[in-house]
Amino acid sequence: MCFKELEESFKDHCGIFGIYCPDGKLDVAKITYFGLYALQHRGQESSGIAVNDSGNIIYHKDSGLVNEVFNEVVLNHLKGYSAIGHVRYSTTGKSDRENAQPLVIKYRKGHMALAHNGNLVNAHIIREKLEQEGAIFQTTIDSEVIASLISRNRIKSENIEEAILKTMNEIKGAYSLLILTPNKLIAVRDPYGLRPLVMGKINNSICFASETCALDTIGAEYIRDVEPGEIISVSRNGVKSIKYENGTKHLCVFEFIYFARADSYLEGISVYEIRKRLGKQLCKESYVDCDIVIGVPDSGTTAAIGFAEEAGIPFSEGFIKNRYIGRTFIKPEQTQREIAVKIKLNVLKNNVAGKRVVLIDDSIVRGTTSRKIIKMLRDAGASEVHLRISSPPVVFPCYYGIDTPDRKELIAANYSTEEIARILGADSLEYLSLNGLNEVFNGEIHQFCTACFSGEYVTEIPENFNKYILEEGV
């Protein structure tokens, strides 16, 4: 089993950030750098920044973390009055340098840079059609399909916004986009709002980010979320909002359960408070008499605090997390695979020895990491380990930009809860119910995408979609 298999948690596609400073008084490249730094949790494989320099788009991107790709010399070269940036985790397309974003393209009507968070479900259909018409693609990512469509539609459109509207008629799936042209910064969100995108203001500059934590980092004021199906165009003429259609809110619920940073607000809702409420509701549904409650850091910690408060059981740290594992981490040999988990998490033995432990985590995908974590607690002397999950069982794959395996690899799709508990070595296992999740969101769960729990996708999924992704890597 390789290290990537051990890292079984969901991975979000990426994070995006952009800023438009009409008077040029802000260092937009450095502000974008810090914005991306705040969004690093959304993608650790590559990063990039593109800047509008007096009508010319210059850029720098590479594989690696934000602080590995950029330094003072590089940032000082990226001068201009508007910029977009991207951090990436690959769900479609190989993790190669050529697939790093933003994408910068030149076409008949000019040039642009594009950064994309999400995943199209019909990208392979569109790409095949374009290739038959003579189009040439330089990457294996669906983001280039979007860029190609916009450039083609721009030829017969009065402006870039009209070209984007035409493109939105053709693409299906999840997309939050930032598009940089020689005179505009444009934010776009798909009609279902599957991936997050917020708008802020710093001085007289407008900025956009995947999460509000990036706005907080640069000292920007949150204005509002970009609405589903909305195009916001920022130029020297001001801010213009265009609606593709009256969108319906279906933000991915896992943004609250796992992806977003706990200090972020999405759709005006505190991620931290939701995670606490998840823990409280989980306790109401599956209380167990134990000595301490611990969370799997970091995503399980806040839910564990909520569970402990509701149960009246002490919350305790069970693990110390190593936060300094970068992309250059040397993977252990097959015979040393236990190191792959222990290098990331180590048990606080004094806290768990002889204790009946409630272990809180946000989800179970394959179960490989959960099994090893439970074994670590046993080895440290825990007398009982009761696993509680602050989301319903994941029984369907996601097609909208989250790295989930084929359904046959999802442990909850193939085994009962009791069987999974035995496989993982837990004394008991309980998940939050879908009704309980609805309770946490005050009966408004219909405003979120829960397809990985229910199988009810907000768009039609093309036949053999998984087969195409695995074979072609688009």
The domain ranges of the chain are 11-250, 274-441
Is the pLDDT at 327 greater than 60? The verdict is no
Strand partners, 231: 188, 242
What is the pLDDT averaged over residues 299-308? Answer: 96
The pLDDT-based confidence of 107 (bands split at 50, 70, 90) is confident
- 299 annotated to a ligand binding site: yes
Q: Which residues contact 256 (CB under 8 A, 6 or more apart)?
A: 266, 269, 271, 274, 275, 278, 448
The pLDDT-based confidence of 338 (bands split at 50, 70, 90) is low
The pLDDT-based confidence of 336 (bands split at 50, 70, 90) is low
Is the pLDDT at 326 greater than 90? The verdict is no
- 207 annotated to a ligand binding site: no
The residues that are catalytic are: 14
Is the pLDDT at 12 greater than 60? The verdict is no
Is 11-250 a domain of CATH 1.20.140.10? no
Residue 221, judged by CB atoms within 10 A of its CB (0-12, 13-18, 19+), counts as exposed
As given in the structure block, the two tokens for residue 305 are: 């605090």
What is the pLDDT averaged over residues 18-23? Answer: 96
- 213 annotated to a ligand binding site: no
- 379 annotated to a ligand binding site: no
What is the pLDDT averaged over residues 349-366? Answer: 96
Measured in residues, the chain has a length of 474
What is the pLDDT averaged over residues 321-333? Answer: 58
How many angstroms separate the CA atoms of 43 and 87, rounded?
5
Is the pLDDT at 347 greater than 50? The verdict is yes
- 148 annotated to a ligand binding site: no
Q: What is the pLDDT of residue 202?
A: 97
pTM: 0.90
Q: Under the phi-then-psi rule, with left for phi > 0, alpha for psi from -120 to 50, and beta for the rest, what region is 229?
A: left
Which CATH entry fits the domain spanning 274-441: 3.40.50.2020, 1.20.1290.10, 3.40.50.2300, 3.90.180.10?
3.40.50.2020
Q: What is the pLDDT of residue 473?
A: 31
Q: What is the pLDDT of residue 224?
A: 97
